A and B are shown apart, each in its own frame.
Chain A
């Protein structure tokens, strides 16, 4: 069987239906694993969540890291509205600030954050280089970086197997979203290549699960 080439999906999940469909999927376990990794890496202080989506991760981080604050950005206004409700319901308004911004053109000064993270966003972006450069630019030297994403399976059969395994109980739309995301993702070797090209040579790449990888740097 031929190897799977990268096939992009829409960059913005900005229809009400797609945003609601994504929000309805249960991401609790992957989100908890993500926050666990952030803590292991020494996440602290002022944090930036790039592509915050429906806002689960900032709320979880506030519950687990004392004294932190999170700025969450997303390109999708619909997602931000969902995120704002979630943040309010959790009573985190004071610590989580949300705004509509482009990961490729971040509205922050250099070295503004102690921790920069992004969960499952990279595959939405056709050219990941401006995203990586921006994430690194706004991170203070020695700060924590965690960019986790799906990675593209080797072939169609492997992709179908992952969809059956992890989205088998979801509806057809949700299965389609997951399959498209896997298809749009980079491989670990491709991510290493673009990270090096963007100067992120002090960040390691870790293959976390059968579908997730992380580009990360711990607190120094």
Chain B
């Protein structure tokens, strides 16, 4: 099956309903990245699809691991 070309458009309407899954804080868009308001986890947008997986997010400066981030900023116990 031939692959159709993908645009890299991310629909900004999604931002109204999305939160960071770890902190449950709002997200703001910075280019091809969604940044959590609390803590600043950075989620990539790849091929126009937002990847809201904590394991795929870039950690903010000074935080060594996702576990350490969850302990400091997490709204829920680590999954």
Q: Which A66-124 residues have C-beta < 8 A from chain B?
A: 71, 73, 75, 77, 80-81, 84-85, 97-102, 104-109, 112
B35 at interface, CB cutoff 8 A: no
Interface pair A105/B13, CB less than 8 Å apart = no
Interface residues on chain B, size class: 20 to 34
User: How many residues of chain A have a CB within 8 Å of chain B?
Assistant: 24
Interface pair A105/B21, CB less than 8 Å apart = yes
- Which residues in B have their C-beta under 8 angstroms from that of A105? 21-22, 53-54, 76, 79
Majority-rule SS of B interface residues: loop
- Which residues in A have their C-beta under 8 angstroms from that of B52? 73, 99-102, 107
Interface pair B79/A71, CB less than 8 Å apart = no
A200 at interface, CB cutoff 8 A: no
- Which residues in A have their C-beta under 8 angstroms from that of B1? 20
A-B residue pairs in contact (CB < 8 Å), sample of 9: A20-B1, A46-B17, A71-B14, A97-B13, A100-B46, A102-B54, A105-B53, A105-B79, A108-B18
Which residues of B pack against A, CB within 8 Å?
1, 4, 6, 11, 13-14, 17-22, 24, 27, 46-54, 56, 76, 79
Which residues of A pack against B, CB within 8 Å?
20, 46, 71, 73, 75, 77, 80-81, 84-85, 97-102, 104-109, 112, 130
